[in-house]
Amino acid sequence: MRPRSTAAHRPLLLLTTLACLLLALATGLVVAVKSVFPELALTALPMQILRPLHTLASIGCLFVGICALFLFAGREAGARGTRALGLALAVLTLTFLPAAALSVLIGEGSGKEYVSWSPALTTLLVVMFVLLVVSFFANLRAFVGASPEAAWLIGLGLLCIPLGLVEANFYRAVGPSYAKEISFDWHAMDIIFAGWSATLYGFGILIAGGPAKPLRATWLYALAAFTFVSTFGHHHYLSPQAQVIKIIALTASMMAGVSFLRHVREVFRVRGLTASGPLAPFLRTVETWTLVAIGSGILLAVPQVNLVLHGTYAIVAHSMGAMIGVDVVLVLGGLAYYLRPLEAPTVARLSRYMRWLNIGLALVWIDLVVAGLLKGVLRFEQIHAAYQPVVLRVLFPLPVLGLLVAVPLVLVAIELLRQVAAHRRSPVPSTVRASAPEPGGSGPS
């Protein structure tokens, strides 16, 4: 049995991940209410603080979740130096999160989408991810030994995130050029999105178990790197960005069709192979929403569709489907995996909660897409003041539908907290954990 002090940073990071998730859910529900009733509590609950707080908490959940999963995965793979790394990560995250929240609350945030905290605090995040990158490459053999494909995804993703965080501040250096400012802003965000998704997919492959997937042809990885760097440019078709960048983005986005077809196959494969595994509900949810995210992303990248749906709630549906249905579920599934063994009643409850989450998320997704489609069509003929009341009528159920997403996620968080408490009462020797049932089959690819 390990002495408690050497493992303290892992539960601490796990608890911080769940705290961020709960804050994201709470602020998200308030934002949903304010979106439908914009005149409600204008001063007491200003949107300029609520939304940045919501995105900070959401991103915090994913970033800290990545830290926690890295430490758990590193321990199991036999990586070295994870104790010191864990301590550093705990200090950095527990410094960054309250400081970032405070910067938003007192109006000293960046004013930017997603990267909403004070720019100076980004340094802490960059240091955090540089430490992760260094640790990863120092223990490359251990991670590759666990799964070559997972290692490649985790390494690529961890590289992307600090690059994007640094790029998010490039707008300060471009002078009076709005085209470049908006290009750097959103390319930075897109690289960060791609980074955390790749990293979490890598962990998903590790937790799914089964035979380790070998590396594939080099050209496929070159293609992946190209799409990582350029695909999200479809955000900018209508902005004054250089034409060549838009064409590169269109090309890269259409290449995602290859990934879509592979995930269609994976949805059916995962259903069959993980039917009885404790993580089956998480993995099925991830594969299903990966399909939805990639499919909707490809559609949104078609310029004629983009013309109608860009700048509408359809984009919010796409990003929420991906962030919640894929990224958050991967974090929670990963944490559940590393807190194994899971008792049968716990597995049954988790399965039920994931079912509820899928229903709630699907309803939210549909509501946002319908609202987005309506806005996209109506704005050709009408000004905002004319079409917005119609859009708000469609969005009316959103706060209630949001509850259908929040409640199952809270219940999953409570189950994970119970697991942490159970482990503290009766620490599980690593030999028992190592022999705990594997979910079997392959995970996200």
Partner 1 sequence: MILAYAGYVLAIALLDGSSVAGASVPVGGDTVGGDPVSGYLAGGHTWRQHGCQTCHSIYGLGGHAGPDLTNVFRRIPDSQVRHVILDGHLGMPAFDLTEGELQGLIDYLVFIGETGAYPPQSIRDPVFGFAP
Binding residues for partner 1 restricted to 265-324, rule: CB under 8 A:
303-304, 306-308, 310-313, 316
Residue 78 binds to partner 1 (criterion: CB under 8 A)? no
Alpha helices in 106-177 (DSSP H): 122-138, 140-146, 148-167
Q: Which is nearer to partner 1, 240 or 257 (CB)?
A: 240
Q: Which of 84, 225, 261, 421 binds partner 1 (CB under 8 A)?
A: 225
Determine the interface stretch with partner 1 among 57-65, 221-229, 288-296, 431-439 (rule: CB under 8 A).
221-229
Determine the interface stretch with partner 1 among 209-217, 225-233, 330-338, 413-421 (rule: CB under 8 A).
225-233
Of 79, 9, 23, whose CA–CA distance to 54 is shortest? 23
Distance CA 364, CA 395 (A): 9
Residue 393 binds to partner 1 (criterion: CB under 8 A)? no
Q: Which of 4, 384, 393, 424 binds partner 1 (CB under 8 A)?
A: 384
Residue 424: its H or E element: helix 398-425
Name the minimum Å distance from CB 160 to partner 1: 8
Residue 51 binds to partner 1 (criterion: CB under 8 A)? yes
Q: Which is nearer to partner 1, 256 or 291 (CB)?
A: 256
Residue 187 binds to partner 1 (criterion: CB under 8 A)? yes
Burial of 397: CB neighbours in 10 Å, binned 0-12, 13-18, 19+: middle
Indicate the residue type of 373.
L
- Using CB under 8 A as the binding criterion, the count of chain residues that bind partner 1 stands at 73
Residue 238 binds to partner 1 (criterion: CB under 8 A)? yes
Distance CA 374, CA 368 (A): 10
Q: Which is nearer to partner 1, 270 or 398 (CB)?
A: 398
Determine the interface stretch with partner 1 among 7-15, 41-49, 292-300, 327-335 (rule: CB under 8 A).
41-49
- Contact yes or no for 278/419 (Cβ under 8 A): no
- Contact yes or no for 310/235 (Cβ under 8 A): yes
Q: Which of 6, 46, 141, 216 binds partner 1 (CB under 8 A)?
A: 46
Burial pattern 231-261, b for ≥16 Cβ within 10 A else e, equals bbbbbbbeeebeeebbebbbebbebbeebee
Distance CA 73, CA 92 (A): 20
Q: Which of 63, 117, 129, 184 binds partner 1 (CB under 8 A)?
A: 184
Q: Which is nearer to partner 1, 156 or 206 (CB)?
A: 156
Name the minimum Å distance from CB 375 to partner 1: 8
Determine the interface stretch with partner 1 among 40-48, 62-70, 338-346, 416-424 (rule: CB under 8 A).
40-48
Name the minimum Å distance from CB 45 to partner 1: 11
Determine the interface stretch with partner 1 among 17-25, 103-111, 348-356, 406-414 (rule: CB under 8 A).
103-111
Q: Which of 229, 390, 417, 420 binds partner 1 (CB under 8 A)?
A: 229
Of 243, 265, 128, whose CA–CA distance to 195 is shortest? 128
Distance CA 5, CA 90 (A): 13
Distance CA 358, CA 281 (A): 10
Positive or negative torsion for Cα 70, 75, 79, 84:
positive
User: First CA to last CA across the chain, in angstroms?
Assistant: 35
Burial of 107: CB neighbours in 10 Å, binned 0-12, 13-18, 19+: exposed
Q: Which is nearer to partner 1, 46 or 98 (CB)?
A: 46
Distance CA 389, CA 133 (A): 48
Name the minimum Å distance from CB 391 to partner 1: 9
Residue 358 binds to partner 1 (criterion: CB under 8 A)? no
Determine the interface stretch with partner 1 among 8-16, 94-102, 163-171, 418-426 (rule: CB under 8 A).
163-171
Q: Which of 17, 35, 82, 93 binds partner 1 (CB under 8 A)?
A: 35
Determine the interface stretch with partner 1 among 8-16, 243-251, 258-266, 342-350 (rule: CB under 8 A).
243-251
Q: Which of 145, 240, 429, 437 binds partner 1 (CB under 8 A)?
A: 240
Binding residues for partner 1 restricted to 164-183, rule: CB under 8 A:
167, 170, 174-176, 178-183
What are the tokens at 20? 């961020």
Q: Which is nearer to partner 1, 113 or 343 (CB)?
A: 113
Sequence-distant (≥ 6) Cβ neighbours of residue 172 within 8 angstroms? none
- Cα distances (angstroms) measured from residue 383 to each of 252, 373, 377, 420: 33, 15, 11, 53
Residue 140 binds to partner 1 (criterion: CB under 8 A)? no
